[in-house]
């Protein structure tokens, strides 16, 4: 195996290692974001739950007060009916009738208010139950996600240590000028950094390279760059076994 082929192989290994390193770094960076995202959702739902609980408490206070007022009015109506039996003239009778009518009218309005309030309470209590279940579900999801992210982060860091050594080994087998070009391209272009050329087409930018450049590339003497995208290139056939001729 020629030195040229060995260097190309090491560049390909280096690119594979760098790709995996980027993926693992993304896992490590995304973990706290994912956990923070669900924590924010839990906080929002918890705030809504707290506001709804306060609203239900207020409605229950209004309900208690309304029930008390209805009971007091019923007591007044009952007393007025008893007094009505004791009136001695029509003037007093009509005055008491008007008072009773007003009390009964007020009581009917309060009864309507009571029905509306109880419906509102029932609706909000059902909504509170939904929110409580949702918060509990999200808290369970958060616990599972946190545990999963901790495991993935730990495994990613362990794998990164292995890849660091693999990268060091591959880098040592590549001449410094070529390695410098590789690093320069890696920070400026998207993958691939080193691309095979197939039928004179660079698979990195999908543009045909000049005929003379393709001829030089086929010789496999020195590592070359694509004139169009500046990626490092190699001839694909150098890494494919020749097909056996069938007699």
Per-residue pLDDT of the chain (247 residues; tens, 9 = 90+): 588 999 999 999 999 999 999 999 999 999 999 999 999 999 999 999 999 999 999 999 999 999 998 888 888 888 877 777 777 778 777 777 888 888 888 888 888 999 999 999 999 999 999 999 999 999 999 999 999 999 999 999 999 999 999 999 999 989 999 999 999 999 998 889 999 999 999 999 999 999 999 999 999 999 999 999 999 999 999 886 544 333 3
pLDDT in the model for residue 85: 73
Model pLDDT, residue 131: 93
DSSP state of 203: T
The side-by-side arrangement of strands in the sheet containing 194-198 is 201-202, 194-198, 232-235, 224-225
| Every domain of the chain and the residues it spans | 19-172, 176-239
The class of domain 19-172 in CATH terms is mainly alpha
Alpha-carbon distance of 53 to 40, in angstroms, equals 20
Which pLDDT value is given to residue 1?
54
Question: 195-208 burial string, b = 16+ CB within 10 Å, else e?
Answer: bbbeebbbebbeee
Backbone angles phi, psi at 229, to 5 degrees: -110, -10
Taking the C-alpha atoms of residue 181 and residue 31, their distance in angstroms, rounded to an integer, is 33
Which pLDDT score, from 0 to 100, does residue 245 have?
35
């Amino acid at each position: 195996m020629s030195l040229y082929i060995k260097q190309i192989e090491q560049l390909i290994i280096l690119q594979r290692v760098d790709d995996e390193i980027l993926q693992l770094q993304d896992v490590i960076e995304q973990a706290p974001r994912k956990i923070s995202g669900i924590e924010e959702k839990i906080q929002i739902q918890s705030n809504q739950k707290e506001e709804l609980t306060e609203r239900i408490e207020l409605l229950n206070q209004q309900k208690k007060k309304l029930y008390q007022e209805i009971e007091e009015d019923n007591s007044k109506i009952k007393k007025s009916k008893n007094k009505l039996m004791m009136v001695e003239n029509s003037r007093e009778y009509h005055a008491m009738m008007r008072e009773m009518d007003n009390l009964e009218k007020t009581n009917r309005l309060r009864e309507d208010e009571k029905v509306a309030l109880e419906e509102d309470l029932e609706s909000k209590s059902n909504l509170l139950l939904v929110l409580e279940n949702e918060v509990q579900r999200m808290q369970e999801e958060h616990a599972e996600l946190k545990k999963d992210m901790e495991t993935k982060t730990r495994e990613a860091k362990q794998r990164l240590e292995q890849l660091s050594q693999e990268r060091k080994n591959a880098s040592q087998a590549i001449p410094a000028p070529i390695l410098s070009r590789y690093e320069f391209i890696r920070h400026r272009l998207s993958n691939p950094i080193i691309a095979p050329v197939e039928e004179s087409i660079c698979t990195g930018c999908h543009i045909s390279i000049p005929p003379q450049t393709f001829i030089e590339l086929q010789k496999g003497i020195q590592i070359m760059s694509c004139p169009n995208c500046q990626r490092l290139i190699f001839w694909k056939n150098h890494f494919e076994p020749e097909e056996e001729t069938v007699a």
